[in-house]
Structure 1
Amino acid sequence: MHMDNKHSSGLQAVKAIFWAFFGVRKGRDHAADMAKLTPKQIILAGIIGGVIFVMMLVLLVKLVTS
Protein backbone atom coordinates (compact mmCIF):
# COMPACT_ATOMS: atom_id res chain seq x y z
CA MET A 1 0.00 0.00 0.00
CA HIS A 2 2.93 2.33 0.63
CA MET A 3 4.03 2.02 -3.02
CA ASP A 4 0.52 2.88 -4.26
CA ASN A 5 0.58 6.03 -2.14
CA LYS A 6 3.87 7.11 -3.75
CA HIS A 7 2.45 6.35 -7.20
CA SER A 8 -0.66 8.44 -6.55
CA SER A 9 1.47 11.31 -5.16
CA GLY A 10 3.58 11.20 -8.32
CA LEU A 11 0.49 11.45 -10.48
CA GLN A 12 -0.80 14.24 -8.26
CA ALA A 13 2.49 16.12 -8.74
CA VAL A 14 2.23 15.73 -12.53
CA LYS A 15 -1.35 16.98 -12.43
CA ALA A 16 -0.40 19.97 -10.27
CA ILE A 17 2.43 20.92 -12.65
CA PHE A 18 0.18 20.48 -15.69
CA TRP A 19 -2.37 22.93 -14.31
CA ALA A 20 0.40 25.28 -13.19
CA PHE A 21 1.66 25.49 -16.79
CA PHE A 22 -1.79 26.72 -17.79
CA GLY A 23 -2.05 29.06 -14.81
CA VAL A 24 -5.43 27.67 -13.83
CA ARG A 25 -5.89 26.15 -10.39
CA LYS A 26 -8.61 26.24 -7.75
CA GLY A 27 -7.48 27.47 -4.36
CA ARG A 28 -8.68 24.39 -2.52
CA ASP A 29 -6.92 22.06 -4.99
CA HIS A 30 -3.72 24.06 -4.61
CA ALA A 31 -3.95 23.81 -0.82
CA ALA A 32 -4.55 20.05 -1.02
CA ASP A 33 -1.52 19.64 -3.30
CA MET A 34 0.70 21.62 -0.95
CA ALA A 35 -0.41 19.47 1.98
CA LYS A 36 0.31 16.16 0.21
CA LEU A 37 3.27 16.85 -2.08
CA THR A 38 6.89 17.36 -1.16
CA PRO A 39 9.05 20.05 -2.75
CA LYS A 40 11.18 17.28 -4.29
CA GLN A 41 8.14 15.84 -6.10
CA ILE A 42 7.06 19.24 -7.39
CA ILE A 43 10.56 20.18 -8.60
CA LEU A 44 11.05 16.83 -10.34
CA ALA A 45 7.64 16.99 -12.03
CA GLY A 46 8.31 20.60 -13.08
CA ILE A 47 11.66 19.74 -14.64
CA ILE A 48 10.23 16.76 -16.50
CA GLY A 49 7.22 18.79 -17.65
CA GLY A 50 9.47 21.62 -18.83
CA VAL A 51 11.72 19.27 -20.78
CA ILE A 52 8.74 17.63 -22.47
CA PHE A 53 7.26 21.04 -23.31
CA VAL A 54 10.52 22.28 -24.88
CA MET A 55 10.96 19.04 -26.82
CA MET A 56 7.43 19.37 -28.20
CA LEU A 57 8.12 22.96 -29.27
CA VAL A 58 11.36 21.94 -31.03
CA LEU A 59 9.53 19.10 -32.80
CA LEU A 60 6.75 21.45 -33.88
CA VAL A 61 9.25 23.99 -35.27
CA LYS A 62 11.09 21.24 -37.17
CA LEU A 63 7.82 19.98 -38.65
CA VAL A 64 6.74 23.46 -39.73
CA THR A 65 10.09 24.51 -41.18
CA SER A 66 10.87 21.31 -43.08
Structure 2
Amino acid sequence: MQGAGQGKAGPLAALKAVFWAFFGIRKRQAHDEVSHLKPVHFIVAGLIGAALFVLALVTLVRLVTGKG
Protein backbone atom coordinates (compact mmCIF):
# COMPACT_ATOMS: atom_id res chain seq x y z
CA MET A 1 0.00 0.00 0.00
CA GLN A 2 3.01 2.31 0.19
CA GLY A 3 3.53 2.24 -3.55
CA ALA A 4 1.30 5.24 -4.23
CA GLY A 5 3.19 7.61 -1.94
CA GLN A 6 6.58 6.11 -2.58
CA GLY A 7 6.97 7.71 -6.01
CA LYS A 8 6.34 11.19 -4.64
CA ALA A 9 8.55 11.01 -1.58
CA GLY A 10 11.98 10.23 -2.89
CA PRO A 11 15.40 11.50 -1.95
CA LEU A 12 14.04 15.06 -1.89
CA ALA A 13 11.75 14.07 0.98
CA ALA A 14 14.80 12.73 2.81
CA LEU A 15 16.58 16.07 2.24
CA LYS A 16 13.56 17.88 3.65
CA ALA A 17 13.44 15.59 6.69
CA VAL A 18 17.16 16.04 7.36
CA PHE A 19 16.82 19.82 6.96
CA TRP A 20 14.13 19.95 9.62
CA ALA A 21 16.08 17.54 11.79
CA PHE A 22 18.98 20.01 11.84
CA PHE A 23 16.57 22.43 13.50
CA GLY A 24 15.22 19.73 15.79
CA ILE A 25 11.60 20.07 14.73
CA ARG A 26 9.42 17.74 12.74
CA LYS A 27 5.76 16.81 12.76
CA ARG A 28 4.46 13.28 13.03
CA GLN A 29 3.08 13.54 9.49
CA ALA A 30 6.58 14.24 8.16
CA HIS A 31 7.84 11.09 9.85
CA ASP A 32 5.10 9.04 8.22
CA GLU A 33 5.96 10.48 4.80
CA VAL A 34 9.59 9.33 4.92
CA SER A 35 9.31 6.19 7.01
CA HIS A 36 9.51 3.96 3.92
CA LEU A 37 12.70 5.47 2.50
CA LYS A 38 15.97 3.60 2.58
CA PRO A 39 18.59 4.59 5.16
CA VAL A 40 21.03 5.43 2.38
CA HIS A 41 18.78 8.35 1.40
CA PHE A 42 19.14 9.81 4.88
CA ILE A 43 22.90 9.21 4.98
CA VAL A 44 23.42 11.00 1.68
CA ALA A 45 21.02 13.80 2.67
CA GLY A 46 22.83 14.21 5.99
CA LEU A 47 26.22 14.41 4.31
CA ILE A 48 24.94 16.97 1.82
CA GLY A 49 23.33 18.98 4.61
CA ALA A 50 26.47 18.90 6.74
CA ALA A 51 28.64 19.94 3.79
CA LEU A 52 26.34 22.86 2.98
CA PHE A 53 26.28 23.91 6.63
CA VAL A 54 30.09 23.90 6.88
CA LEU A 55 30.39 25.72 3.56
CA ALA A 56 27.95 28.39 4.76
CA LEU A 57 29.90 28.82 8.01
CA VAL A 58 33.24 29.12 6.22
CA THR A 59 31.77 31.65 3.81
CA LEU A 60 30.27 33.66 6.66
CA VAL A 61 33.56 33.70 8.57
CA ARG A 62 35.47 34.81 5.48
CA LEU A 63 33.00 37.61 4.85
CA VAL A 64 33.11 38.81 8.44
CA THR A 65 36.90 38.67 8.74
CA GLY A 66 37.48 40.25 5.35
CA LYS A 67 39.60 37.36 4.06
CA GLY A 68 37.19 36.49 1.26
Q: Return the TM-score normalized by structure 1.
A: 0.81
Q: What's the RMSD between the two structures over aligned residues?
A: 1.5
Aligned to 2:4: none
Percentage of matched positions with identical amino acids: 48
Q: Which letter maps to 2:16?
A: K
Aligned length: 60
Which contiguous aligned blocks of 4+ residues in structure 1 show a shift greater than 3 angstroms? none
Greater C-alpha radius of gyration: 2
Q: Return the TM-score normalized by structure 2.
A: 0.79
**Structure 1: which 5+ residue stretches go unaligned?**
none
* RCO higher in structure (CA 8 A, sep ≥6): 1
Query: How far did residue 8 of structure 1 move?
Result: 4.2
